[in-house]
């Protein structure tokens, strides 16, 4: 028996999970990189496949878009399914001119001005910044070094709104944010809540300074460097 939002049986979900936002990207990764991949969830349109990458059992599970969706799925995966490690793999908009399209950003922390922490945790919580797992980030940076993959570490701004005013960019840069996306804060909050490991590897799909942007189809199927880095890293954790 699953949860309200996930139909998979408990044993169908691996202890190691990669979470793209897009269900189509889940299907792409499972079909291209996993062996013996089995579809274990399609409830509410969020796909999950469990299979093997280099002999290690891994689940690829779509988080959907935004803090609420990531908050629900990461909570249930950590709490009910006893998942140990989640790496979000997604896209982000760069706040910096020199962080260009297709560059990889490893989140060392996430900033969000939201009530998610208070409503999902304890009254009085006021955590605007949540840190990623240092252990997990260490594995990822070492794997990137070995494979010759350039990667930048830095804070991400997890926004509640996709369409935001450009005048706000400097404010978030002053807070240490290198890019903006919509899910990492909720993932890191739940990882902290359940004493689990989590982080995000993000491909820059938009540069909000230069206005460069990746084609929508490329967002779905041309992010292989990030995908391989995440797979190679999670099997070592």
What pTM, to 2 d.p., does this model score? Answer: 0.93
pLDDT score for 220: 59
What is the mean pLDDT of the segment spanning 166-181?
A: 88
In three-state secondary structure terms, 196 is: coil
Catalytic (active site) residue 206: yes
Q: How does the average pLDDT of the chain come out, rounded? A: 92
Alpha-carbon span 188 to 191, nearest angstrom: 5
DSSP assignments along 59-106, one per residue: EEE---SHHHHHHHHHHHHHHTS---EEEEEEEEEESSTTS-TT-EEE
Domains and CATH numbers, the chain: 10-234 (3.40.50.1580)
The 10s digit of each residue's pLDDT in 116-155 is 766 776 554 667 899 999 999 999 999 999 999 999 999 9
Catalytic residue, from 206, 212, 215, 224: name it: 206
- Residue 74's alpha-carbon distances to 45, 124, 215, in angstroms, are 16, 22, 28
């Amino acid at each position: 028996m699953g949860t309200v939002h996930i139909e998979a049986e408990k044993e169908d979900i691996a202890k190691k999970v990669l979470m793209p936002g897009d269900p189509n990207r889940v299907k792409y990764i499972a079909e291209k990189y996993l062996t013996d991949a089995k579809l274990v969830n399609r409830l509410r349109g969020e796909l999950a496949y469990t299979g093997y990458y280099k002999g290690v059992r891994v689940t690829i599970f779509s988080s959907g878009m935004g803090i609420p969706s990531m908050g629900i799925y990461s909570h249930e995966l950590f709490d009910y399914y006893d998942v140990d490690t989640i790496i979000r793999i997604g896209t982000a908009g760069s706040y910096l001119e020199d962080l260009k399209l297709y560059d990889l950003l490893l989140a060392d922390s996430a900033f969000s001005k939201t009530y998610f922490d208070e409503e999902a945790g304890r009254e009085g919580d006021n955590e605007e910044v949540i840190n990623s797992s240092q252990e997990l980030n260490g594995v990822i940076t070492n794997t990137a070094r070995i494979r010759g993959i350039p990667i930048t570490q830095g804070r991400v701004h997890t926004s509640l709104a996709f369409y935001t005013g450009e005048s706000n960019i400097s404010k978030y840069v002053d807070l240490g944010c290198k890019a903006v996306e919509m899910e990492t804060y909720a993932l890191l909050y739940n990882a902290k809540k359940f004493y689990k490991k989590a982080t995000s590897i993000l491909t820059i799909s938009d540069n909000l300074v230069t206005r460069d942007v990746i084609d929508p189809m490329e967002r779905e199927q041309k992010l292989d460097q990030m995908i391989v880095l995440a797979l190679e890293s999670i099997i070592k954790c």
